[in-house]
Amino acid sequence: MPEYVASAIEPKWQRFWEERRVFERRPGDSRPKYYLLEMLPYPSGDLHMGHMRNYTMGDAVARYMRMRGFNVFHPIGWDAFGLPAENAALQRRTHPRTWTLNNIARMKEQLQRFGYSYDWSSEVSTCEPEYYRWNQWFFLQMFKRGLAYRKKSRVNWCPECQTVLANEQVVNGCCWRHEETPVEQKALEQWFLKITSYVEELLGGLDKLTGGWPERVLTMQRNWIGKSEGTRVSWAVAGTAKTIETFTTRLDTVFGAVALLLAPDHPMVDDLLVGLPGGASIARKVEALRRQSRHAQVVGEVEKEGIFIGRFAVNPLSGEQVPIWVSNFVLMEYGTGAVQAVPAHDQRDFEFAQKYRLPIRVVIQPREGKPLLPSTMREAFTGHGRMVDSGPYNGMGSEKALEKMTDDLVAPGKAERLVLYRIKDWGISRQRYWGTPIPVVYCDACGVVAVPEEQLPVRLPLEVEITGTGLSPLLNVPEFLNTSCPTCGKAARRETDTMDTFVDSSWYFYRYLSPREEKGPFDAATVEHFFPIDRYVGGAEHAVLHLIYCRFWTKMMRDLGVVSHNEPVTRLFNQGMVIKDGAKMSKSRGNVVSTDEMIEEYGADTARLFTLFAAPPEKDMEWTDAGVEGCYRFLQRLYRLVAKHAPRLREVPLTAAAAVPAKPGTAQKLNAQERQVLRKAHQTVRRVTTDFETRWHFNTSIAGIMELINELYALEPLEEAVSPAVLKEALAMAVLLVSPYAPHIAEELWEKLGQAQSITETSWPSYDPELAREEEYEIVIQVNGRVRGRIRVSGDLDEKELLQQALADAAVARLMSGQRVAKTVVVPKKLINIVLAR
């Protein structure tokens, strides 16, 4: 008996696919296109199970779509710039480039050992000048249009990485790479991309992605953009000519304001203290609040604190004077850095008022329930209702009052309608070596000068010493640093900051279509043909960063005129994580299963099959050695079954399988067992096809194929039970169905069955609905909704006959003795429920 030896089969077929270049895109292919993309890996050194799961899902779909006749484009590349390469270089005394290229070589080999059907001729690596020169080109286009600009700003600084972090890279006030390291603030000249110019479009576009993108991702993007519509209001400072601007979304509550609160960093605080008695001691307290608030962003929520600074502001609608406080919970970064304090109708203000015994003034009464009393309130009422104690607005609905009050303040110029967003422009400057140089020169005479396009790429020099300090190593490379001004020709200095690596990953999937293109970032015609991406598969951790940046990039490119679509990705699939012993696989937890060991012990097909079988793809999956073993056993069973019968079947032509339609009337000539085998086989084709087309639940597809194989084993010896033609058809179907998941064993068995073509050139099997139809059904008999018996009937029984047969059942008859049938409910082919009169 031949045994299944994965290590003998897999290299053979990998070589076969590679030599024939079967997965490479060919120009002029007229079949309908399908662009299937998985998120490109960072070349960290080893392919881990998370990658493996991602790519196995993608590959199953790629192979399926290819068999369905699509011109599938399925590329892969490397997100090759980034900080870990510098850290590794420091530790191992090597060059970031060497480390990166070695990792790429190693991971590429690992990917190939899994038999993924990538078009390797489209491979892209973002650290190569031929790629990053176009990052620079895009930067210049944006610079020309004012979409890339420089400003001094307080930036997030990770003392561990010694670099600036984007807002998106700050997690709980700490660095996203160093979860224990609080982020500090530092003022630096930085380059920004004006993502806020596209904010409304980025937000509005989310509605159009509904259905194609997971709701979760859309919600996270909406929250991240954080649009809020409100009013900017001017409050006069009593006894001065100064005014303070507040921002509120609830102007309707303004008569309930009992104070005006300033952020500790508000620029007017110091001015207001000048000349006040006791100003010096107040200033000391404010200084303490400032230090605390800078730290508070790091730590999270802290106790609300504040101090009355001895001045009063005039409520622009009521004319009332309220005290001005400085408080630690007002953020300078959002809105105007000043807010009205309305304890009755804002929970934060409520807590603040409790602490400092400020009055609580109710100005909106709920439409239902008991009226609010300041003395008994436990929390703020933030809903809408009826206006009270609000002068001329009393009795109005608060929604209406909000509009009226806004109009009344806007007219005399005391207020302005304002839309605010949480999202900020994208800071892309990094004080790091291993990244794309920003193509800008600083000239004493001409200022900031863009490097002319024809001088691109500005190459990253390779002769550097990585120091690991906060300053870019490029400062120590005179050949790079010192240049001449493109405008006046005098001595000038190059920008030494490099770009955030999220720039690299914002458009890499365009470059795949023409990776060697030299006249532009990509070949426009090819891009037009293949875009948008039909399916993008990757982890949920990129829901806001990468997936907002790349949407921005596409819209920006559309405005440059290099693409014509608005969104890069029509459908997004988020796969779950790989879990072991209850936690995400990670080196620090020591629960990593190596992909190399999996291949050595079981082979790629087993590993691929298990990752798909253990859980539905969108959920986290638990990795268990026992589960892997089970999938290995299944492949062995499949192999033994086909290998045993194949020698007799080599010359038998395939009839119904592989899209050759069955001849009408074939079914009648089959015996009962043949009908049973073909029925199960065709049902399984239907089931697996449906899963691919609708919900990607590969776990149930694989279970279905297992059932088919189990049923065939149950009929052994098959050579006595069914004709060679039927057996060949059933085995061929099983092999074709398993091929997207376990492609190597499938090719091997396909060959053993005498099929000359590779599966990659074979069509997906179609099923014959007539053959898949059940001839007999087991009907469940319920009495009063409880299962009391079951009978076998052929499909075309009407309700009357069915009831008759049901009543003939001994158990049912006993239960019904002496009782009257009130009604019967029949579900065709499934059950009959007899309801007795009470």
Question: 280 exposed, middle or buried (CB, 10 Å; 0-12, 13-18, 19+)?
Answer: exposed
Amino acid at 44: S
Question: Do the strands 578-580 and 77-78 form a parallel or antiparallel pair, or are they unpaired?
Answer: unpaired
Q: Does the protein bind RNA through residue 263 (CB under 7 A)? A: yes
Least distance to RNA from the beta carbon of 652, Å? 24
The single residue among 116, 247, 350, 549 that binds RNA, judged by CB under 7 A, is 247
CB-nearer residue toward RNA: 480 or 573: 573
Residues 416-445 that bind RNA (CB under 7 A): 420, 422
Q: What does the alpha-carbon distance between residue 201 and residue 645 come to, in Å, rounded to a whole number?
A: 61
Q: What does the alpha-carbon distance between residue 54 and residue 61 come to, in Å, rounded to a whole number?
A: 11
CB-nearer residue toward RNA: 683 or 739: 683
Least distance to RNA from the beta carbon of 296, Å? 5
The single residue among 620, 719, 776, 799 that binds RNA, judged by CB under 7 A, is 620
Q: Does the protein bind RNA through residue 773 (CB under 7 A)? A: no
In terms of Cα–Cα distance, which of 316, 307, 302, 257 is closest to 284? 307
The single residue among 54, 125, 340, 429 that binds RNA, judged by CB under 7 A, is 340
Least distance to RNA from the beta carbon of 334, Å? 4
Residues 550-579 that bind RNA (CB under 7 A): none
**What phi, psi does 429 have (nearest 5°)?**
-75, 135
- 20: helix, strand or coil: helix
The single residue among 243, 636, 673, 763 that binds RNA, judged by CB under 7 A, is 636
The single residue among 166, 753, 788, 802 that binds RNA, judged by CB under 7 A, is 788
Stretch that binds RNA, among 28-36, 267-275, 337-345, 745-753 (CB under 7 A): 337-345
Measured in whole angstroms, the distance separating CA 338 from the mean position of its chain's CA atoms is 36
Stretch that binds RNA, among 185-193, 394-402, 497-505, 777-785 (CB under 7 A): 777-785
CB-nearer residue toward RNA: 10 or 346: 346
The single residue among 93, 357, 587, 786 that binds RNA, judged by CB under 7 A, is 786
Report how far apart, in Å, the C-alpha atoms of 469 and of each of 160, 433, 461, 473 are: 10, 11, 18, 8
Q: Does the protein bind RNA through residue 203 (CB under 7 A)? A: no
Q: Does the protein bind RNA through residue 790 (CB under 7 A)? A: yes
Stretch that binds RNA, among 41-49, 325-333, 507-515, 564-572 (CB under 7 A): 325-333
Stretch that binds RNA, among 246-254, 387-395, 450-458, 548-556 (CB under 7 A): 246-254
Helix H or strand E encompassing 156: strand 148-158
Measured in whole angstroms, the distance separating CA 718 from the mean position of its chain's CA atoms is 48
Stretch that binds RNA, among 77-85, 274-282, 309-317, 335-343 (CB under 7 A): 335-343
Stretch that binds RNA, among 220-228, 406-414, 453-461, 735-743 (CB under 7 A): 220-228
Q: Are 727 and 718 in contact (CB under 8 A)?
A: yes
Residues 708-727 that bind RNA (CB under 7 A): 710, 713-714
Least distance to RNA from the beta carbon of 336, Å? 7
The single residue among 203, 288, 331, 816 that binds RNA, judged by CB under 7 A, is 331
The single residue among 564, 757, 784, 819 that binds RNA, judged by CB under 7 A, is 784
Tell me how many degrees the CA angle 200-201-205 measures, rounded to the nearest 5. Answer: 120
CB-nearer residue toward RNA: 314 or 706: 706
Q: What does the alpha-carbon distance between residue 349 and residue 257 come to, in Å, rounded to a whole number?
A: 10
> Residue 373: CB partners within 8 Å, gap ≥ 6?
362
The single residue among 32, 69, 226, 391 that binds RNA, judged by CB under 7 A, is 226
For the chain, the residue count is 838
Least distance to RNA from the beta carbon of 231, Å? 8
Place of tokens 């189990």: 710
Size of residue set near RNA by CB under 7 A = 88
Residues 36-55 that bind RNA (CB under 7 A): none
Q: What does the alpha-carbon distance between residue 645 and residue 731 come to, in Å, rounded to a whole number?
A: 9
In terms of Cα–Cα distance, which of 217, 129, 126 is closest to 509? 126
Q: Does the protein bind RNA through residue 580 (CB under 7 A)? A: no
- Number of CB atoms found within 10 A of residue 434's CB: 27
DSSP 340-358: EE-GGG-HHHHHHHHHHT-
Binding mask 273-312 for RNA (x = CB under 7 A): -----------------------xx--xxx-x--------
Least distance to RNA from the beta carbon of 684, Å? 10
The single residue among 462, 787, 808, 813 that binds RNA, judged by CB under 7 A, is 787
Least distance to RNA from the beta carbon of 299, Å? 9
Q: What does the alpha-carbon distance between residue 367 and residue 399 come to, in Å, rounded to a whole number?
A: 12
Instruction: Copy the structure tokens of residue 580.
Output: 């072991």
Question: 757 exposed, middle or buried (CB, 10 Å; 0-12, 13-18, 19+)?
Answer: exposed
The single residue among 526, 655, 666, 700 that binds RNA, judged by CB under 7 A, is 700
The single residue among 35, 131, 536, 634 that binds RNA, judged by CB under 7 A, is 634
The single residue among 11, 279, 310, 616 that binds RNA, judged by CB under 7 A, is 616
CB-nearer residue toward RNA: 84 or 828: 828
Residues 160-199 that bind RNA (CB under 7 A): 171-172
659 torsion bin: left (phi>0), alpha (psi -120 to 50), beta (else): left
Instruction: Copy the structure tokens of residue 575.
Output: 């796969």
Q: Does the protein bind RNA through residue 334 (CB under 7 A)? A: yes
Least distance to RNA from the beta carbon of 609, Å? 10
CB-nearer residue toward RNA: 126 or 221: 221
The single residue among 22, 449, 481, 780 that binds RNA, judged by CB under 7 A, is 780
Q: What does the alpha-carbon distance between residue 486 and residue 439 come to, in Å, rounded to a whole number?
A: 12
- 825: helix, strand or coil: strand
Binding mask 586-615 for RNA (x = CB under 7 A): ---------------------------xxx
Q: Does the protein bind RNA through residue 690 (CB under 7 A)? A: yes
Q: Where are the alpha helices (DSSP H) in 160-261?
A: 199-209, 215-225
Q: Where are the alpha helices (DSSP H) in 233-276?
A: 269-273
Q: Does the protein bind RNA through residue 624 (CB under 7 A)? A: yes
Instruction: Copy the structure tokens of residue 698.
Output: 């590969």
Q: Does the protein bind RNA through residue 403 (CB under 7 A)? A: no
Q: Are 713 and 640 in contact (CB under 8 A)?
A: no
Least distance to RNA from the beta carbon of 739, Å? 18
Q: Does the protein bind RNA through residue 778 (CB under 7 A)? A: yes
- Number of CB atoms found within 10 A of residue 652's CB: 17
Helix H or strand E encompassing 418: strand 415-420
Q: Are 570 and 534 in contact (CB under 8 A)?
A: yes
In terms of Cα–Cα distance, which of 422, 420, 404, 419 is closest to 251? 404
Residues 800-819 that bind RNA (CB under 7 A): 811
The single residue among 238, 276, 488, 703 that binds RNA, judged by CB under 7 A, is 703
Place of tokens 């080196």: 587
Stretch that binds RNA, among 98-106, 125-133, 225-233, 406-414 (CB under 7 A): 225-233
Angle, nearest 10°, between helix axes 698-714 and 604-613? 110
Q: Are 2 and 502 in contact (CB under 8 A)?
A: no
CB-nearer residue toward RNA: 116 or 213: 213
DSSP tag of 254: G
Residues 348-387 that bind RNA (CB under 7 A): 348
Question: Do the strands 482-484 and 124-125 form a parallel or antiparallel pair, or are they unpaired?
Answer: unpaired
Stretch that binds RNA, among 183-191, 356-364, 626-634, 732-740 (CB under 7 A): 626-634
CB-nearer residue toward RNA: 350 or 510: 350
The single residue among 87, 98, 249, 766 that binds RNA, judged by CB under 7 A, is 249
